[in-house]
Structure 1
Amino acid sequence: MNLKDNIGKYIKLEISGRKFIKGLLCDIGSDLWVVFNGYDYLYIPTIHCQNWHFLKQDEIDEIHVSDELTPIYNHNEEISLRKTLTAAKGIFSEIYVTSNQALHGYIISIMNNYFVFYSPIYKTMFISLNHLKWLIPYTNNQRPYGLSNASLPVNPSNLTFARSFEVQIEKLTGELIVFNIGENENVIGKIQGIKNNFVELISAKEDPVYVNLQHIKTVHMT
């Protein structure tokens, strides 16, 4: 089966984390699917597409396709995750990574295996590309939390960014950080160092905790 033959059909897609998306399959690229759910274009990395099936007619009738919104990619080119992230740079967007909590803000920079994201709530964040579940660019007039442009700095960080996620985490040695949006107390602490692909954190009670680099999805400083 050629997956691209299904472009233009309505599907229900399960992605990692038991999230379900219904909508019109708009495009499929080398590592990315694009689904329009009636309200937004969702850009979904293929690695997180668990399973899918076609919608029944009554489910299709619930989805209202709008001609007012346009995708951010060039229809004349093969889409990819990196191209889409580049096109979304500086555009207010929603991303979903972990903890049943979407993040809102904008992409600052795209590195080898992670990207830098500015959230009005969490400030500068480092997001692993391997764990990004979806990207939803806002429509033109939306602002996260109703904030003004003055509240959303163009260059919010004076940090220099490492090329890889692992090296960027290592650069934060000695800093108080939160991994994975603080989904549990074992991912909050001061970075002591990295050994054998585990990050050593010092907890609030000064106990060492070791976190597997492969399971770190987001990083932000306190």
Structure 2
Amino acid sequence: MASFKNFLNKQVTIEISGNSNVDGILIEVGNDLLVVFNGENFLYIPLLHIHNLSESTLEESFGVVPSLQELEHEKDELSLRKVLTAAKGIFVEINLSNNRSFHGFITTIMNNYFVFYSPIYKIMYISLQHLKWLTPYLTEKTPYMLSNNLLPVNPSNIPLARTLDVQLNKLIGELVVMNSGENYEYIGKLSSIDSNFIELTTSRGESKLVGLRHLKSIFIP
């Protein structure tokens, strides 16, 4: 990661998958992610989604960078999995596309997905492959300023499989919302999973196949 380290403590512009740009100060370089401070928050960005990085031409100042207090015990060997593990139980914002962010907390991390509790969507299964960035809350605020009794410590007792495709088999027959329902075709009854495709039955009883590798998130409404 020597090339990325040349940009440490400099203001950078990063292009991320989904035609999204992030501007800030490059704080840390890990095995498979970068940490950028954008003036308000720390963004943990997986290298998988970085299209390009360059020194910023903006004259904007990002002020004094606070300590990585929430996750600083993971700084020595920074990796996405270590960051996710350290973030369990901490209120975070996760981004899956340039216009889709969710607020809540991580409950469990499996091989290729993690379980996320959102006060709005409840239990969500999030594909690790599609996580664009993660931001831990830097204050004691809760999402939507909800009281703690509305944010359960153990929100689900559903047994979890190691991989997302096997976990989805447990949802066969359930009405599901995929990719936040950004397209109405991603809402329906999960009918089957076969050959890396998910079969949905739409509201009008039609069959729709969705590639499993394009699945960013899924929840039961």
SS at match of 2:185: helix
Q: Which residue is equivalent to 2:15? A: 14
Normalising by structure 2, report the TM-score: 0.95
Q: Which residue is equivalent to 1:2? A: 3
Post-superposition CA distance 1:57-98 (Å, at most 9, x none): xx2443222436635133652200000000000100000013
Given residue 210 of structure 1, which amino acid in structure 2 is its aligned partner? L
How many Å separate the matches in 1 of 2:214 and 2:72?
30
Given residue 97 of structure 2, which amino acid in structure 1 is its aligned partner? T
Aligned partners of 1:41 and 1:136 also within 8 Å:
yes
CA shift, 1:54, in A, is 0.5
Aligned partners of 1:99 and 1:183 also within 8 Å:
no
Q: Which residue is equivalent to 1:168? A: 167
Q: Which residue is equivalent to 1:31? A: 32
Post-superposition CA distance 1:9-46 (Å, at most 9, x none): 11011111111111110111110100011110000000
Q: Which residue is equivalent to 1:198? A: 197
Aligned partners of 1:179 and 1:218 also within 8 Å:
yes
Aligned partners of 2:7 and 2:55 also within 8 Å:
no
List aligned pairs for 1:12-161, cutoff 5 A: 12-56=13-57, 59-67=58-66, 70=69, 72-74=71-73, 77-98=76-97, 100-161=99-160
SS at match of 1:214: helix
RMSD: 1.5
Given residue 155 of structure 2, which amino acid in structure 1 is its aligned partner? P
**Closer/same/farther in 2, CA of residues 161 and 60 from structure 1, 3 Å limit:** farther
SS at match of 2:180: helix
CA shift, 1:5, in A, is 2.5
Aligned partners of 1:200 and 1:208 also within 8 Å:
yes
Aligned partners of 2:34 and 2:47 also within 8 Å:
yes
How many Å separate the matches in 2 of 1:68 and 1:31?
21
Number of residue equivalences:
220
SS at match of 1:94: strand
How many Å separate the matches in 2 of 1:206 and 1:184?
17
User: What residue ranges of structure 2 are gaps of 5+ in the alignment?
Assistant: none
How many Å separate the matches in 2 of 1:60 and 1:84?
31
Aligned partners of 1:177 and 1:191 also within 8 Å:
yes
Post-superposition CA distance 1:129-153 (Å, at most 9, x none): 0000000000231110010111100
Q: Could you tell me the percent identity over the aligned residues?
A: 48
How many Å separate the matches in 2 of 1:126 and 1:76?
27
